[in-house]
Amino acid sequence: MSNEPLIFEHSRPGRVNRAQSAHLGGELNGIPESLRRKHPPRLPEVSELDAVRHYTRLSQKNFSIDTHFYPLGSCTMKYNPRACNTLASLPGFLGQHPLSAARDSQGILACLWDLQEMLKEVTGMCAVSLTPMAGAQGEFAGVAMIRAYHDARGDAARTEILVPDAAHGTNPATATMCGYTVREIPTDDQGDVDVAALKAVVGPHTAGIMLTNPSTLGVFERRIHEIAGIVHEAGGLLYYDGANLNAILGKVKPGDMGFDVIHINLHKTFSTPHGGGGPGSGPVGVSERLHPFMPIPVVGRDDNNAFRWLDEHDLPQSIGRLSAHMGNTGILLRAYIYALMLGREGMVRIADYATLNANYLMACLRDAGFDMALPERRATHEFILTLKRQAKEPGVTAMDFAKRLLDYGFHAPTTYFPLIIPECLLIEPTETESKETLDAFVEAMVTIQAEAEKDVETLKGAPYSLPVRRLDDVKAARELDLRWQAEA
């Protein structure tokens, strides 16, 4: 693929896209010279066609769900139905100012109310706040609520959050943002939390534990009830990281497992677009005892069935606001539309077929000679393949496999996470992929294995067929080049 210059390199002084602003303008009356801008910003000066062609060409350099199988573990890269975007983009939704009066906003409020109710049902929690704008912000809200709960009880001794060593990096980072110290709990050789180790560290200083179930190792945490009992007994609360909810939708409810607070990644389970890294959406669900601390605003319903925003007057103990308005409302709307199309049967089928696809793919890869990190366990919606053996002999790494997969038209699985499994690929096919696609992926893996045995260097040089070859990350970090500079 040919090199596409930067948009700034397409720019020519004096070229104006007159379709957009020809009849606009006006004097800057009342603004003194001292407060005015002296030199215009060096934004590109291009025609509308230049812009459309450039950004269309750039798009063609991306892998995406719409163009490629994207088995990125822990990210749930399933098909994003077009209807969700089309219907969330109706002018009646897009044109609404966030500070509009509730009486003018009953349409959107009704949608958000319905979504709150649905999420309560699938999570088994007593209330839901939709405002967090990503999973990480949902985590922040959750741990801040745990802290607010202990603080409200005058229990200041609880300074520690427990996190399994296999956890997402956001878990410890979030605990720190909430002013807690983090203690890691080891994982046993079957992928479960080491309960003996947990018992040894839990105590009056324990504010809570953050768990993902199914865990980041792609297996169901079988002793979850016992873990919940141990932490609750010690006065701590349980936080559920909903990253892997896709695997258990309608099968198990986090509320029934004993969790006090959860976040849900709507951009995973409810198929809102990943958009090249956002916007996400991370609503939180709470148990009765954390209800007073929920982040605001929340959608409420009056006796006469009119909807309105609940704020600090309704929830005076709230941890507060996490966005200027109602989080990523348009993303919430897309999740709602998706949920309506699925309905109750469709949600359970998600878990069914996400699990079937993962177990099938795992079985095929095992039969093809690959090693699984936890061979004794069922896969949930994802599983971990380890290339530890191949890294020793013939000397190809998870990175090499990942890059070579790109040449065969597959986005790479998640690499080197969880950190505790060496040379791993975390593979999540999702329910929207067909058997043929999974079979083709297995075939590519087998081909790459054969290439590795024949000539290691082929893999070390991959990818070959993409817009660029393997990129130098070290140079990028050492010799920072974070923006285009006009030549002086």
Partner 1 sequence: MPFIPHTENDTRAMLAACGVNSIEDLFDEIPPELRADALNGIPAGRDELAVSRLLHARAAQNAQPLCFAGAGAYEHHIPAAVWEITTRGEYYSAYTPYQAEASQGTLQLLYEFQTMVAELTAMEVANASLYDGATALAEAVLMAVRANRKSKARRIFMPRTVHPRYRDVVAAIVRHQGITLELLDYDSAGGHIAPASLPTEPADITALIIPQPNFFGALEDTDALTDWAHAHGALVIGVVNPTAMAVIAPPGEWGTAGADIVCGEGQPLGIPLASGGPYFGFMCCKQKIVRQMPGRIIGATVDLEGKRGYVLTLQAREQHIRRSKATSNICTNQGLMTIAATIYMTLMGPAGLERVARQCHANTRALVQRLSEIDGVEILFDRPAFHETVLCLPRPTAEVLAGLSERGIFGGFDLSADYPELDNTLLVCATETKSAEDLDAYTDALREVLG
Residues in 429-458 at the binding interface with partner 1, rule: CB under 8 A: 431-435
List the interface residues with partner 1, window 56-95 (CB under 8 A).
56, 58-68, 70, 72, 75, 77-81, 83, 85, 87-95
Q: Give the nearest distance from C-beta 403 to partner 1 in angstroms.
A: 7
* Three-state secondary-structure class, residue 159: coil
Smaller CB distance to partner 1: residue 389 or 435?
435
**Is position 28 an interface residue for partner 1 (rule: CB under 8 A)?**
yes
CB 463 within 8 A of CB 407: yes
Q: Interacting stretch for partner 1, rule CB under 8 A, among 194-202, 222-230, 231-239, 389-397?
A: 222-230
Smaller CB distance to partner 1: residue 235 or 338?
338
**Is position 204 an interface residue for partner 1 (rule: CB under 8 A)?**
no
Smaller CB distance to partner 1: residue 431 or 451?
431
Q: Give the nearest distance from C-beta 339 to partner 1 in angstroms.
A: 7
CB atoms within 10 A of CB 344: 12
List the interface residues with partner 1, window 183-202 (CB under 8 A).
none
List the interface residues with partner 1, window 236-255 (CB under 8 A).
248, 250-253
Q: Which residues touch 245 (CB under 8 Å, ≥6 apart)? A: 122, 123, 254, 264, 265, 268, 269
Q: Interacting stretch for partner 1, rule CB under 8 A, among 198-206, 284-292, 321-329, 420-428?
A: 321-329
Cα–Cα distance, 105 to 116 (Å, whole number) = 17
Q: What are phi and psi of 230, to 5 degrees?
A: -65, -45
Count of chain residues binding partner 1 (CB under 8 A): 201
Tokens 């050789």 -> residue = 189
Smaller CB distance to partner 1: residue 186 or 392?
186
List the interface residues with partner 1, window 105-124 (CB under 8 A).
105-108, 110-111, 117-118, 120-122, 124
- Among 126, 279, 292, 300, interactor with partner 1 by CB under 8 A: 279
Cα–Cα distance, 464 to 441 (Å, whole number) = 18
Q: Interacting stretch for partner 1, rule CB under 8 A, among 15-23, 203-211, 389-397, 448-456?
A: 15-23
List the interface residues with partner 1, window 122-141 (CB under 8 A).
122, 124, 133-137, 139-140
Q: Which residues touch 364 (CB under 8 Å, ≥6 apart)? A: 438, 439, 442
Q: Give the nearest distance from C-beta 82 to partner 1 in angstroms.
A: 9
Q: Give the nearest distance from C-beta 193 to partner 1 in angstroms.
A: 14
* Three-state secondary-structure class, residue 410: strand
Cα–Cα distance, 176 to 140 (Å, whole number) = 10
| Spatial CA neighbour of 57 closest among 16, 12, 5 | 5
Q: What are phi and psi of 38, to 5 degrees?
A: -90, -40
CB 349 within 8 A of CB 343: no
Site string for partner 1, 365-394 (x = CB under 8 A): --x---------xxx---------------
Q: Give the nearest distance from C-beta 201 to partner 1 in angstroms.
A: 16
Q: Interacting stretch for partner 1, rule CB under 8 A, among 97-105, 199-207, 229-237, 451-459?
A: 97-105
Q: Which long-range contacts (CB under 8 A, 24 or more apart) does 10-13 make?
A: 10/44, 10/46, 10/50, 10/54, 11/44, 11/45, 11/46, 12/45, 12/46, 13/45
